[in-house]
Structure 1
Amino acid sequence: MNRNFIYLLSAIAVLSSCVKGINNPTNGSLNSITGGTTATTGSTVTGSSTVVADAIKDSVYYYTKEDYYWADAIPDYNTFAPRTAANGTTDILALTNEVNKLSQYKINSATSLPYEYVSTNVGKAKYFYIDAGQTTLRLNAVSGDFGFGRAYRNATDLRVSYVNPGSPAANAGMVRGSQITAINGTTSLNNDGANGTNTAFINSAMAGSIISVAATKPDGTKVTYNLTAAIYADNPILKTQTITLANGKKAGYIVFNSFVTQATAKPLLDAAFAKFVVDGISELIVDVRYNGGGYTETAQYLLNLIAPATASNNTMFTATYNPALQGGKQLLLKNQLRKDASGTTFNYGQVDYSLTSQTFKFGSTHPLNLTRVFFLTTGATASSSEATINALRPYMNVQLVGGTTYGKPIGFIDIKIGTYTMYLPAFEIRNANGDSNYYNGMTPGSSTYPGYATADDLTHDFGDSNEGLLSAVVNYLNGGVYKSNSTSTVGVQSIGSQNYDSSVIDADQFKGMLFQYPKHK
Structure 2
Amino acid sequence: MKISFSNRLFSIILTGLLLIAGLGCKKNHNSQPSNPSSSNRLSDEDSLKYYIYHYMLVTFDDEAMAYFHDSLPLYLWYNQVPISSINPLDDNLYPKAETLLNKIISYPINPETGKPYDRYSFLDRAGSVSDLLQGGVTGDMGFQPVYAYDANNNLHLVVLYVYKNSSAGQQGVQRGWEITAINGNSNISDRNMVINAIYYSSSSSFTFKKPDGTSVTLTIQAMQYVVNPVLFDTVYTLSNGKKVGYFVFNQFIDIFDSANNPTETKNELDAVFQKFQDSAVNDIIVDLRYNGGGSVNTAEYIDNKLAPASAAGKVMYSYVYNDKLTKYASQLQLPSQIFFTSTGSFQLDHLFFIVSRNTVSASELTINNLRPYMDVQLVGDTTYGKPVGFFGWPIYDYDSTGKQQHLADLYSVNFQTKNATGYGDYFNGLVPSKFEYDYVGYNWGDTRDPNLQDVFNFLTTGNYRISAGARLATGAASLRMIPGSLPLKGFQGMVDFKQAQQLRPILMR
User: If the TM-score is normalised by the length of the shorter chain, which range does it land in?
Assistant: 0.7 to 0.9
Secondary structure at 1:499 match in 2: coil
Matched, 1:423 2:411: yes
1:402 aligns with 2:380: yes
> What residue identity is the alignment partner of 2:457?
N
Counterpart of 1:133 (choices 106, 127, 131) is 127
What is aligned with 2:56? 64
Letter in 2 for 1:145: D
Structure 2 equivalent of residue 365 of structure 1 = 343
Deviations 1:103-131 (CA, angstroms, capped at 9, x unpaired) = 21111011111113xxxxxxxx3443434
- CA shift, 1:60, in A, is 1.4
Which residue of structure 1 aligns with residue 107 of structure 2? Answer: 105
1:464 to 409, 425, 446: 446
Q: For residue 328 of structure 1, report the CA deviation from its aligned partner.
A: 3.0
Q: Describe how 1:136-155 pairs up with structure 2 within 5 A.
A: 136-139=130-133, 140-154=135-149
The answer to whether the Cα contact below 8 Å between 2:183 and 2:204 also exists between their aligned partners in 1 is yes
Asked if the contact 2:28/2:34 (under 8 Å) is kept, the reply is no
1:222 corresponds, among 215, 218, 222, to: 215
Q: Note if contact 1:157-1:179 (Cα within 8 Å) is conserved in structure 2.
A: yes
Judged with a 3 Å threshold, the aligned counterparts in structure 2 of structure 1 residues 129 and 408 are, in CA distance, closer, same or farther, namely: farther
Which residue of 1 is the match for residue 245 of structure 2?
252
| Contact kept? 1:240, 1:254, Cα under 8 Å | yes
The 1:440/1:278 distance shift into structure 2, 3 A limit, reads same
- Counterparts in 2 of 1:376-415, with a 5 A limit? 376-415=354-393
Deviates more, 1:71-80 or 1:104-113: 71-80
Aligned position for 1:499: 483
Instruction: Give the partner amino acid of 1:133.
Output: G
Could you tell me how far apart the structure 2 residues matched to 1:37 and 1:166 are? 44
Per the alignment, residue 520 of structure 1 pairs with: 502
2:372 aligned counterpart, secondary structure: coil
Please list, as runs of the form range in 1=range in 2, the aligned pairs for 1:253-402 lying within 5 A after superposition: 253-262=246-255, 263-264=262-263, 265-328=265-328, 351-353=332-334, 357-402=335-380
Segments of 5+ residues of structure 1 without an aligned counterpart are 12-30, 89-93, 117-124, 191-196, 330-348, 445-450
Q: 8 Å contact 1:176–1:459 — kept in the other structure?
A: yes
Partner of 2:6: none
Matches within 5 A, 1:432-451: 432-444=420-432, 451=433
Contact 1:203/1:505 (8 A) holds in 2: no
Partners of 2:470 and 2:356 in 1: CA distance: 17
Cα distance, 1:319–1:272 mapped onto 2, change above 3 Å: same
CA distance in 2, matches of 1:376, 1:106: 31
**1:271-290 C-alpha deviation (Å, 9 max, x unpaired):** 11111111111010000111
Question: What pairs with 1:18-29 in structure 2 (closer than 5 Å)?
Answer: none
Alignment partner, residue 80 of structure 2: 73
Maintained 8 Å contact 1:4/1:33 = no
> Partners of 2:378 and 2:112 in 1: how far apart?
24
Tell me, yes or no, if structure 1 residue 478 matches structure 2 residue 460.
Answer: yes
Kindly report which structure 2 residues correspond to 1:176-191, keeping only aligned pairs within 5 A, or say none. 176-190=175-189
Deviation at 1:6, TM superposition (A): 4.1
Contact 1:7-1:39 within 8 A present in 2 as well: no
Match for residue 401 of structure 2?
none
Classify the secondary structure of the residue corresponding to 1:471: helix
Q: TM-score, normalised by structure 2?
A: 0.80
CA RMSD in angstroms comes to 3.2
Q: Which whole-Å deviations, capped at 9, do the CAs of 1:445-490 have from their partners, x for residues lacking one? A: xxxxxx2111112111110111221222112212233235855778
State the match for 1:166 in structure 2.
Answer: 165
Shift of 1:87: 5.0
Scaled by the length of structure 1, the TM-score of the pair is: 0.79
CA contact (8 A) 2:158 2:178 kept: yes
Distance 1:415 1:40, change over 3 A: same
Q: CA deviation at 1:222?
A: 1.5
Structure-2 change in CA distance of 1:86 and 1:486 (3 Å): farther
1:231 aligns with 2:224: yes
CA separation of 1:131/1:465 partners in 2, compared to 1, >3 Å: closer, same or farther?
farther
Structure 1 residues 249 and 215: CA distance shift in structure 2, 3 A: same
CA contact (8 A) 1:7 1:33 kept: no
Aligned counterparts of 1:34 and 1:77: Cα–Cα separation in 2: 22
Gap change, CA 1:427 and 1:269, over 3 Å in 2: same
Question: In 2, are the aligned partners of 1:415 and 1:422 still within 8 Å (CA)?
Answer: yes
Of 194, 199, 205, which aligns to 1:212? Answer: 205
Rate the CA distance shift 1:70–1:187 in 2: closer, same or farther, 3 A.
farther
Q: Would the alpha carbon gap of residues 182 and 385 (structure 1) be closer, same or farther in structure 2, given more than 3 Å must change?
A: same
- TM-fit CA distance, 1:379: 1.1
User: What is the CA-CA distance between 1:214 and the residue it aligns to?
Assistant: 1.9
Q: Aligned with 1:185: secondary structure?
A: coil
How far is 1:57 from its partner? 1.2
Any conservation in 2 of the 1:382–1:405 contact (CA below 8 Å)? yes
Distance 1:176 1:488 in 2: 21
How many correspondences in the alignment? 450
**1:448: which partner in 2?**
none
One-letter code aligned to 2:132: R
- Tell me by how many angstroms 1:156 deviates: 2.4
SS at match of 1:150: strand
Report if aligned partners of 2:356, 2:381 keep a CA contact under 8 Å in 1. Answer: yes
User: Which structure has the larger Rg?
Assistant: 2
Letter in 2 for 1:114: P
For 2:291, give the aligned amino acid: N
AA paired with 1:403? D
- How far 1:33 sits from its partner (Å)? 8.1
Task: Flag the 1:204–1:228 CA change in 2: closer, same or farther, 3 A.
Answer: closer
Deviations 1:55-108 (A, max 9, x none): 2112112222121111111222543545336556xxxxx333332222211110
Contact in 1 for aligned 2:353/2:377 (Cα 8 Å): yes
Measured in 2, the distance between the counterparts of 1:285 and 1:326 equals: 37
Task: For 1:458 and 1:228, locate their aligned partners in 2 and report how far apart those are by CA, in whole Å.
Answer: 24
